[in-house]
Amino acid sequence: MSVHRPAQRVTVPQLMAYKGTRKIAALTAYIAPIARLLDESVDMILVGDSTAMVGYDMPDTLSITTEMMSAHAAAVVRATQQACVIVDMPFGSYQQSPSQAFANAAAMLAASGVAGVKIEGGRVLAETTRFLVDRGIPVLAHVGLMPQYVNTMGGFKAQGMTDVAARLILEDARAHAQAGAFGVVLEGISEPLARQITADLDILTIGIGASPGCDGQILVTEDILGLSGDRIPKFAKRFGDAAQVIRDAARDYAQSVREETFPTLDHCFGVRPKA
């Protein structure tokens, strides 16, 4: 006889219930130590394909693979107990067909234990969202500035800045909502548009460079910790300086080694204690 333990994690339905009642705090993570530290504070952790740029120093997000994302997602899930964990589907793993998307999404969920997947794209991918949701895979959509579309967008540029462009993004978000997505990430779009989408749709809106009126906010953790270099995106804010802490610790360690003050015999094995 199996014993079912009550779920302790924030679930996708719980996240959806927060709309209109409380703001959702979300951050990215791709390694266990960072995920473990974030877990007690945030509602959702996204294992983003920004891992490609932040973790591997790739020029964009296009080269990371399903296997790599699954491995990072599994590490984040193992290291956490409370936050709802969502994983990005990498470029090329879901655009070909809904069947391709389901096969890859199901494999990623099975390998990692995440609660759902995020896909980038407008109305053309609403059918894929419906296909996944109907088969038991929660979907977080992503419209506006979409890093996986960097080549067709001509770079990382704000979106929805004209009436025509804003209407198209609104239609993109609405199509995913109608297809069953539990939420939509609104990235790099005009503030009034993000506020309108949040008011018009019943699903969650998670903003990044969008509007304080969104149902929640997400940032790349390395940006808020000062680990992304000197350039901070307009939509981000540095909440701490972990880079300096790491520099100081590394400097002190290296100096101790060179001065032969570390290690001492207290850090060694097989040493008889002094009488």
Q: Which residues are catalytic?
A: 187
Burial of 71 (0-12, 13-18, 19+ CB in 10 A): middle
3-state secondary structure of 91: coil
- Asked if 182 and 139 count as a contact pair (C-beta separation under 8 A), the reply is yes
Count CB neighbours of 171 within 10 A: 14
Q: For the chain, how many residues are written?
A: 275
- Asked if 86 and 72 count as a contact pair (C-beta separation under 8 A), the reply is no
107 φ, ψ (degrees, to nearest 5): -65, -40
Burial of 236 (0-12, 13-18, 19+ CB in 10 A): middle
Burial of 119 (0-12, 13-18, 19+ CB in 10 A): buried
**Rounded Cα–Cα distance for residues 163 and 68 (Å):** 39
**Rounded Cα–Cα distance for residues 247 and 272 (Å):** 35
Tell me the two tokens of residue 158.
Answer: 């704000």
**Rounded Cα–Cα distance for residues 77 and 88 (Å):** 14
**Rounded Cα–Cα distance for residues 267 and 275 (Å):** 18
242 φ, ψ (degrees, to nearest 5): -65, -25
